[in-house]
Amino acid sequence: MDHPLRRPEEILAYRPLKQILKSGSVWTIGPADTVMAAVRLMEEKNIGFLVVLEKEAIAGVVSERDCLRRVILAGKSPEATAVGDIMVKNVVKVGIEDTFAECLRLMHAHGIRHLPVLAKVKVVGVVSIRDLLREAVEHHAKIIAELERERMTMLTSTV
């Protein structure tokens, strides 16, 4: 059976982030805010990662793990510690046109689970390893369904 040529975005590795990002919500905090404020925001929104913005530019990022390791385990007070004191400043980020494969490569190379997504210089989203896994599962379910339909077509045409 002839297989039509697939457009690049139909091949999972080449799919751009603009097709993967489901929500445009980006939860942010300022570097002068307390770690307790960051933890409360993460709990309220049921997330584990915040982008730290200063004058609408990325100053850093902070995760639940950063709060736990750099504050609680270090014996610091979350009420008295500023996010800017514990945030990751060298932020690995991607553009909205970057691909699924590029995100996986960066996450693996840097040992991270979240990537801020930018359109030019504006943060438009955050992609997580969970988002990429969901996309892979949906993609493979679609491929399996196509193969099953093709198989059934072949079986019924030979009867």
| Phi, psi of 8, rounded to the nearest 5 degrees | -55, -40
**Is residue 59 domain-resident?**
yes
Strands 49-54 and 94-95: unpaired
**Is residue 131 domain-resident?**
yes
Which CATH number goes with the domain that contains 19? 3.10.580.10
Residue 8, both tokens: 């690049």
Q: Given this model, what pLDDT does residue 139 score?
A: 84
**Is residue 3 domain-resident?**
no
**Is residue 135 domain-resident?**
yes
Q: Given this model, what pLDDT does residue 115 score?
A: 96
Instruction: Tell me which residue has tokens 């679609």.
Output: 142
Q: Given this model, what pLDDT does residue 1 score?
A: 43
Burial of 66 (0-12, 13-18, 19+ CB in 10 A): buried
Q: Given this model, what pLDDT does residue 5 score?
A: 52
Cα torsion 40, 42, 48, 50: sign: negative
Which regions of the chain are under pLDDT 50? 1
Helix, strand, or coil here: 122?
strand
**Is residue 2 domain-resident?**
no
Phi-psi region at 23: left, alpha or beta (left = phi > 0; alpha = psi -120 to 50): beta
CB 60 within 8 A of CB 52: yes
**Is residue 82 domain-resident?**
yes
Structurally, how many domains does the chain consist of?
1
CB 87 within 8 A of CB 66: yes
pLDDT tens across 139-156, in order?
A: 888 888 888 888 788 777
Query: Can you give the pTM of this predicted structure?
Result: 0.81
Q: State which residues form the domain around 100.
A: 8-157
